Amino acid sequence: MLTRHSLIAAAALCAIVPALAQDSEPGPAREQTLRATGAYPIEQARSQWLGSNLIGAKVVSASNEAIGLIGNLVVNDDGAVEAAVISIGGVFGIGKKDVAVTYKSLNIVRSRDGAAIDHVTLAATKDDLRQAADFKTLSQQKTETASRRGPEAPVTPVQWTTPRP
């Protein structure tokens, strides 16, 4: 009985050893360096904003003209907010235009109780943003690149004929 168990264990070991000896190819997840942290903030400081409060905030010009709403934030690999994407115009998403402005250009005004964002003021006007270039996400850029390439050249079927005698 001991011999049979030893034989099974040896066979299992022989099956596993080659798999363990193979070098695994480093994939994207293996190449990424994880950042260790020991800091776990327990509360929001008065000088901080919540992204959920900023997204959807009303944007107005310095003359209090309604411009649009903050639709998204652009965050870099270090976690810093670099830009805010403002959605202007449109009804139910039709005719809407997204324009990015630097985060530093936002003047954020808190609500009276200070817990939320009342509105965001920009030095630019709605016309300034209408004339600015549209903001394109990476997925929109990929879609545009693929559509510019166009469909692959059509395959022309070849008719085979038999040679005549």
pLDDT of 138: 92
* Separation between Cα atoms, residue 19 and residue 21, nearest integer Å: 5
pLDDT by residue (tens digit) across 97-153?
999 999 999 999 999 988 889 999 999 999 999 999 999 999 999 998 888 876 665
Q: Please indicate, yes or no, whether the overall pTM of this predicted structure exceeds 0.85.
A: no
**Backbone dihedral angles phi then psi of residue 138, each to the nearest 5 degrees:** -60, -40
Question: What is the pLDDT of the chain when averaged over all its residues?
Answer: 80
Q: Which residues of 117-153 are buried (b: 16+ CB within 10 A; e: fewer)?
A: bebbbbebebeebeeeeebeeeeeeeeeeeeeeeeee
pLDDT of 101: 96
pLDDT of 163: 63
Domains of the chain: 51-136 (2.30.30.240)
Q: What is the CA radius of gyration of the chain?
A: 29
2-6, 84-88, 143-147 — which is least confidently predicted? Answer: 2-6
pLDDT of 46: 85
pLDDT of 11: 53
